[in-house]
Amino acid sequence: MSARIRTFVENYDEKLNGGIPQGHVVLLAGSPGTMKSSLAYSILYRNVIEEGKKGLYISLEQNRESLEDQMESLQMSREEVESKLAVLDLAGMRIRIGGLEGGSLMNMLKMYVMNIKRSFDFDLLVLDSADALRVLAEFEDFDLEYFKLFKWLKGLRITSFLISELPYPSSSSRNGHDFDFVGGEKKDFLADGILLLTMDQMGQFETQRRLRCVKMRGTAHDTGYFVLGFDSGTFTATKAVA
Ligand SMILES: Nc1ncnc2c1ncn2[C@@H]1O[C@H](COP(=O)(O)OP(=O)(O)OP(=O)(O)O)[C@@H](O)[C@H]1O
Ligand SMILES: [Mg+2]
């Protein structure tokens, strides 16, 4: 069996045959507030602490301060992972450079990542988010650029997570495949794996966060919905029952 990257979501890695196959490009898709950023950061964080890996988190939406404050509030302390988990703050940087054309933003992103890779050989990468990239870069041919982005990520020979925003509200009553995960034409086939985060209505007034693995190449995974909880710094998955 190929090496696997654990998600460290309690009770969930065993549902993924031990984790995500190393080298996969995985979409982490969900509607607003489903904890996409938190889960992605937590995967890097725990892999740094428990597996001695290195992670790069590229943020195009939240600036570094906002992201790190949020993770501190989720008991993921910056000091614990200093020098092993880098945050590339393109949200903040983009304001300073301003007015870049689409192609240039993409080139800048690639250039930064390649430079960082030379001095800081990261194993895991998060791009938060594909949608922000699409909006900011104003690609003329997004389908083509998106295809090239996947190829490029794959070529880095790391495990990467691409965050993808889904329309609100999303509900598990809809099958994951109903969604177009990245806007425009269906491009889900480009990803090696898709993890879906939902916030589902329970009765009239309550909601519940859920996690489902829509696909994971090379893995006999559970395709069901799991209730996603968060407790003292750890995400947990519990089988959702009707
Ligand atoms: N300390 C905490 N404990 C539990 N849940 C929290 C805590 N802090 C924030 N949250 C929840 O996490 C949500 C935000 O998580 P996160 O930013 O990871 O979601 P997201 O899916 O990335 O959101 P966005 O669509 O804004 O990118 C908040 O809306 C809140 O409900
Ligand atoms: Mg987010």
Share of the chain above pLDDT 70, in %: 88
Q: Among 94-103, 116-125, 165-174, 196-205, which range has the highest average pLDDT?
A: 116-125
Q: Give pLDDT, residue 177.
A: 45
Mean pLDDT for 221-229 is 97
Q: Is pLDDT above 70 for 174?
A: no
Atom of ligand 1 nearest to the CA of 30: 21
Q: Give pLDDT, residue 176.
A: 45
Query: What does the angle CA 136 – CA 142 – CA 145 come to, to the nearest 5 degrees?
Result: 95
pLDDT of 12-23, one tens digit each?
Answer: 999 999 999 999
Q: Is pLDDT above 60 for 54?
A: yes
Give 229 Cα–ligand 1 centroid separation in angstroms: 12
Query: Amino acid letter at 202?
Result: M
Query: Amino acid letter at 25?
Result: V
Domains of the chain, each with CATH number or no CATH: 20-188 (3.40.50.300)
Which DSSP state fits 10? B
pLDDT of 140-164, one tens digit each?
Answer: 788 888 899 999 999 999 999 999 9
DSSP labels, 121-153: --SEEEEE-HHHHHHHHT-SSHHHHHHHHHHHH
Q: Which ligand does the CA of 165 lie closest to?
A: 1
CB 187 within 8 A of CB 149: no
pLDDT of 71-108, one tens digit each?
Answer: 999 999 999 999 999 999 987 776 555 555 555 778 88
* Residue 183, number of CB atoms within 10 A of its CB: 18
Atom of ligand 1 nearest to the CA of 70: 8
Q: Give pLDDT, residue 175.
A: 46
Distance of alpha carbon 53 from alpha carbon 51, whole angstroms:
5
Q: Is pLDDT above 60 for 172?
A: no
**Protein residues within 5 Å, CB atom, of ion ligand 2:** 37
Residues in the ligand 1 pocket, defined by CB under 6 Å: 30, 32-38, 61, 73-74, 230
What is the β-pairing status of strands 55-59 and 159-165? unpaired
CB 183 within 8 A of CB 134: yes
